[in-house]
Chain A
Amino acid sequence: MRSVPWTAALDVARWEFRRWFKPRDQIMTLILSIVIGLAVWGGAALLDRSRSGPVTVAVLGGEDLPLAIPEDGRVQLEPAGGRARDELERALRSDELDGLLVISGETGFQLVAKRDPAWKPQLERALTAAKREAGVARLGLLEEDVMAILAPASLDVTLLDGGAPAGRATRITAIGIILLMVLGVIMGMTYEFLSITGEKQLRVTEQIVTAIGTQRWIDGKILGTSFVSLGTMTTYAVSAVIFVGVSWLVGRDIPLPTDFISFSALATLVPIALGGFLFWNTAFAAIAATIDDPNSSARGGFLMLPAVPLALAVLAVNNPDALMTRVLSVFPLTSPAFLAVRLSMSTVPWWEILLALALLIGSVLVMRRAAGRIFALGILMYGKEPTWGEIVRWARTA
């Protein structure tokens, strides 16, 4: 077979990227994130407003308890003022009251309400405070001393290398990165699957491979769809940032791990993500080339495979530096997801990053040869699919 220049694969990659990564769709996604941000927080504000109307609760008994109006002022406590329980329950039924609190002693509290009270926590807090205050007064203690005794212990962690332990924001970011990678993988494999099986059915492939050969064609497809994956991931990442920005604008505070969002972190994450997309898209290209009819082939189920390491990587969020997590962050099948999690949560030694990248690139190079060989023979098969034995045999001849 004659040698076809590498530039042909780049031409194909550019074609595939332009074919599937449409700027208009990306802009729509970004606009949608603003709309969703406004809708989510607008909806939340409406919900808050709808449930924050004043609530009147009649209190029967408990005259000795220093019961105060809860701090947000929503729940208004009204002494029964000599009215009997029956009368108060009638007032409750006719919506003159929202609740009836019956107190017996310092510990017997019963709430009668017409419907499930959303304001129950506020009332509970008020009762707890009143109960505590009564106890403090009875024992002759100072309120400040009691508060100090009851306050939960706070553990201030200092790491030897000077870094800070993973907080809530860091965990959210790590899971966010996994979700972005899931989106990238799904988009890439969907387009690659559509592209390869569709072109095989439409017989486009025959005309093209006589021009540039099967290896360059599949190389270009893998490269193009991997950049589609990366582009999709970037769009959704920007979209998430826009969502956070919109949230800030409407006064909602979403924590961001500012120490992670740095040029060096992104510069490390991008090649790892791209390596992962290349790895999975290479595997999918080989599988897709063996599928005769995508509507009836059972091999479509293999598209779920990347979900396994990505789902496992979520578990790594709880223990980013465990031995198994470190091993899986250099193993090519799992390294893109695990390394991305560790990068966002911990300090990863540079040699581990280099080793993971080297193994990932090496496995992609080996797999692309096998995928090219499987593709070359798979596209000649019409009306039936090769057996797994045949596929393995083809791959071994690569």
Chain B
Amino acid sequence: MSPPALTASGIEKQFGSVRAVRNLAFDVAAGEIFALLGPNGAGKTTTVRMLVGFLRPDAGTMRYCLDGIDPGPTLPPEAMGYLPEDRGLFKDVPILRTLAFMGKLRGMTHPDARAEALRWLERLDLADRKDVKLDALSKGNQQKVQFIASIIHRPRVAFLDEPFSGLDPVNQEVFLDLLRELRDGGATIVLSAHQMQLVERIADRILLMKAGHCILHGTIDDIRRAGTKGNRIKLGLSSPIDVAALRNHPAVEGIEETNGNDVVIVLKAGRPLSTLLQSLGAHPEVVSVHSDAPTLHDIYLEHVGRDDGDGGAE
């Protein structure tokens, strides 16, 4: 098995009296999409800023590994791509020139950077806008230019802080495809995001943060298993059921909704549906069953709660 592309151990960061990141440890496998999730102030952006070398951790280590070679505590600029959370590029310069410059700073030759910028602009339907200034573009198109600037040099590891923010649903799908394309091309991607349904669709592994520390870490399945809630079951019944008796059933975590003869039940984690169905018996008769695994959104809310403002620092 190849060593992880990134290994973070015990990293900490404090701003004044605020502990933004606390004893965070994780690793990112080469060629995977790794997502940092968490509410505002959870420490995601601070973590990304430390990973890209913009901030120095107060404690802990970060090691990288590219094709079995350790490049040291920071990645060489040509191997790393970075899309900051706060977007901004030169507003007074045509976008093609800006992109070629960004490629040059990441180690490309000027002709290569220009050619690659044109290819990406073509790919994202912006080729005819190559000579306009950033200000003249819509927010979504500015976001695309920002994205190109961060990956124009085909980085081995790309850090994307909130890559979906400000995008409409169509462009969100475009970005999902781009991220898959980068991964399939061999890049390792570390992203932070709020959009649970998008992360669920694309991330290979997830690290859920709250108040600067990790509260869940692993694949989507790992995280589902670590939760207390099982599948959500919608039962269609022939007549109303005794809800109080159902709530006390050992396989039931809770009753989410009752509507006439229908009832939505959340099972306890690891409890199979069959035990519930057996105990229901013949009355009322089960007419239909619909089962959904818990979404990342459910898991997120379960662990983080609905209070996003925990006084931390992004």
Chain A residues close to B by CB (< 8 Å): 1-2, 4, 8, 11-12, 15, 19, 199, 201-204, 206-212, 380
Instruction: Say yes or no: B54 contacts A209, CB within 8 Å.
Output: yes
6 A-B contact pairs sorted by A residue (CB < 8 Å): A1-B74, A2-B72, A11-B104, A19-B93, A199-B88, A206-B49
Q: How far is the CA of A30 from the CA of B214 in the complex (A)?
A: 63
Q: How far is the CA of A212 from the CA of B54 in the complex (A)?
A: 11
Q: Shortest beta-carbon distance, A55 to chain B, in Å? A: 58
A sample of 5 more A-B contacts (CB under 8 A), given A206-B82, A210-B82, is A2-B74, A207-B88, A210-B77, A211-B102, A380-B55
With both beta carbons as reference points, the residue of chain A lying nearest to B56 in the complex is identified as A1
Supposing A19-B90, A203-B86 touch, asked if A4 and B77 sit within 8 A by C-beta, the answer is yes
Task: Give B45-60 interface residues, CB cut-off 8 Å to A.
Answer: 49, 52-55
Q: How far is the CA of A15 from the CA of B76 in the complex (A)?
A: 22
Instruction: Say yes or no: A207 contacts B82, CB within 8 Å.
Output: yes
Nearest first, the 7 closest Cβ-Cβ pairs linking A and B are: A202-B88, A203-B86, A203-B88, A211-B77, A211-B105, A206-B84, A204-B88
Instruction: Say yes or no: A207 contacts B74, CB within 8 Å.
Output: no
The interface size of chain B toward A, counting residues with CB under 8 Å, comes to: 28
Residue with the greatest number of chain B CB neighbours at <10 A, chosen from A11, A19, A201, A206: A206
Q: Which residues of chain B come closer than 8 Å to A202, judged between CB atoms? A: 88-91
Q: Which residues of chain A come closer than 8 Å to B106, judged between CB atoms? A: 211
Interface flag for B26 (CB, 8 Å): no
Instruction: Say yes or no: B90 contacts A203, CB within 8 Å.
Output: no
Instruction: Say yes or no: A207 contacts B150, CB within 8 Å.
Output: yes
Supposing A204-B88, A207-B149 touch, asked if A15 and B101 sit within 8 A by C-beta, the answer is yes
Interface flag for B168 (CB, 8 Å): no
Q: Which residues of chain A come closer than 8 Å to B285, judged between CB atoms? A: none
Supposing A1-B74, A4-B77, A11-B104 touch, asked if A210 and B90 sit within 8 A by C-beta, the answer is no
Instruction: Say yes or no: A11 contacts B105, CB within 8 Å.
Output: yes
Q: How far is the CA of A203 from the CA of B91 in the complex (A)?
A: 12
Instruction: Say yes or no: B84 contacts A208, CB within 8 Å.
Output: no
Q: Which residues of chain A come closer than 8 Å to B72, judged between CB atoms? A: 2
Mark contacts of B36-74 with chain A using CB atoms, 8 A cut-off: 1 yes-contact digit, 0 otherwise. Answer: 000000000000010011110000000000000000101
Q: Shortest beta-carbon distance, A283 to chain B, in Å? A: 24
Instruction: Say yes or no: B54 contacts A210, CB within 8 Å.
Output: yes
Chain B residues close to A by CB (< 8 Å): 49, 52-55, 72, 74, 76-77, 80, 82-84, 86-93, 101-102, 104-106, 149-150
Instruction: Say yes or no: B105 contacts A212, CB within 8 Å.
Output: yes
Instruction: Say yes or no: A207 contacts B102, CB within 8 Å.
Output: yes
Q: Which residues of chain A come closer than 8 Å to B54, judged between CB atoms? A: 206, 209-210
Q: Shortest beta-carbon distance, A32 to chain B, in Å? A: 23
Q: How far is the CA of A207 from the CA of B146 in the complex (A)?
A: 10
Q: Shortest beta-carbon distance, B161 to chain A, in Å? A: 10
> DSSP majority for the A interface?
helix
A210's contact among B80, B88, B92, B104, by CB below 8 Å, is which?
B80
Instruction: Say yes or no: B53 contacts A203, CB within 8 Å.
Output: no
Q: Which residues of chain B come closer than 8 Å to A199, judged between CB atoms? A: 88, 90
Q: Which residues of chain A come closer than 8 Å to B55, judged between CB atoms? A: 380
Q: Which residues of chain A come closer than 8 Å to B80, judged between CB atoms? A: 210-211
Q: Which residues of chain A come closer than 8 Å to B88, judged between CB atoms? A: 199, 201-204, 206-207
Supposing A1-B74, A19-B93 touch, asked if A208 and B87 sit within 8 A by C-beta, the answer is no
Q: Shortest beta-carbon distance, B84 to chain A, in Å? A: 5
Q: How far is the CA of A199 from the CA of B91 in the complex (A)?
A: 9
With both beta carbons as reference points, the residue of chain A lying nearest to B104 in the complex is identified as A11
Q: Shortest beta-carbon distance, B107 to chain A, in Å? A: 8
Instruction: Say yes or no: A206 contacts B86, CB within 8 Å.
Output: yes
Supposing A1-B53, A202-B91 touch, asked if A208 and B105 sit within 8 A by C-beta, the answer is yes
Q: Which residues of chain B come closer than 8 Å to A209, judged between CB atoms? A: 54
Q: Shortest beta-carbon distance, B148 to chain A, in Å? A: 12
Q: How far is the CA of A212 from the CA of B102 in the complex (A)?
A: 10
B53's contact among A8, A11, A19, A210, by CB below 8 Å, is which?
A210
Q: How far is the CA of A4 from the CA of B53 in the complex (A)?
A: 13
Q: How far is the CA of A208 from the CA of B84 in the complex (A)?
A: 10
Q: Which residues of chain B come closer than 8 Å to A210, judged between CB atoms? A: 52-54, 77, 80, 82
Q: Which residues of chain A come closer than 8 Å to B102, judged between CB atoms? A: 207-208, 211
With both beta carbons as reference points, the residue of chain A lying nearest to B91 in the complex is identified as A202
Q: Which residues of chain B come closer than 8 Å to A2, judged between CB atoms? A: 72, 74, 76
Q: Which residues of chain B come closer than 8 Å to A204, judged between CB atoms? A: 88-90
With both beta carbons as reference points, the residue of chain A lying nearest to B106 in the complex is identified as A211
With both beta carbons as reference points, the residue of chain A lying nearest to B84 in the complex is identified as A206
Q: Which residues of chain B come closer than 8 Å to A4, judged between CB atoms? A: 77
Q: Which residues of chain B come closer than 8 Å to A206, judged between CB atoms? A: 49, 54, 82, 84, 86, 88
Q: Shortest beta-carbon distance, A397 to chain B, in Å? A: 13
Q: Shortest beta-carbon distance, A294 to chain B, in Å? A: 15
Instruction: Say yes or no: A19 contacts B150, CB within 8 Å.
Output: no
Instruction: Say yes or no: A212 contacts B91, CB within 8 Å.
Output: no
Q: How far is the CA of A8 from the CA of B74 in the complex (A)?
A: 18
Q: Which residues of chain A come closer than 8 Å to B49, judged between CB atoms? A: 206
Q: How far is the CA of A199 from the CA of B98 in the complex (A)?
A: 13
Q: How far is the CA of A211 from the CA of B84 in the complex (A)?
A: 12
Q: How far is the CA of A199 from the CA of B106 in the complex (A)?
A: 19
With both beta carbons as reference points, the residue of chain A lying nearest to B72 in the complex is identified as A2
Instruction: Say yes or no: A8 contacts B90, CB within 8 Å.
Output: no
Q: How far is the CA of A208 from the CA of B80 in the complex (A)?
A: 12
Q: How far is the CA of A277 from the CA of B297 in the complex (A)?
A: 57
With both beta carbons as reference points, the residue of chain A lying nearest to B107 in the complex is identified as A211
Q: How far is the CA of A4 from the CA of B87 in the complex (A)?
A: 24
Q: How far is the CA of A276 from the CA of B106 in the complex (A)?
A: 32
Q: How far is the CA of A380 from the CA of B105 in the complex (A)?
A: 21
Q: Shortest beta-carbon distance, B162 to chain A, in Å? A: 12
Q: Shortest beta-carbon distance, A213 to chain B, in Å? A: 9
Q: How far is the CA of A199 from the CA of B104 in the complex (A)?
A: 18
Q: Shortest beta-carbon distance, A378 to chain B, in Å? A: 14
Q: Which residues of chain B come closer than 8 Å to A12, judged between CB atoms? A: 105
Q: Which residues of chain B come closer than 8 Å to A212, judged between CB atoms? A: 77, 105
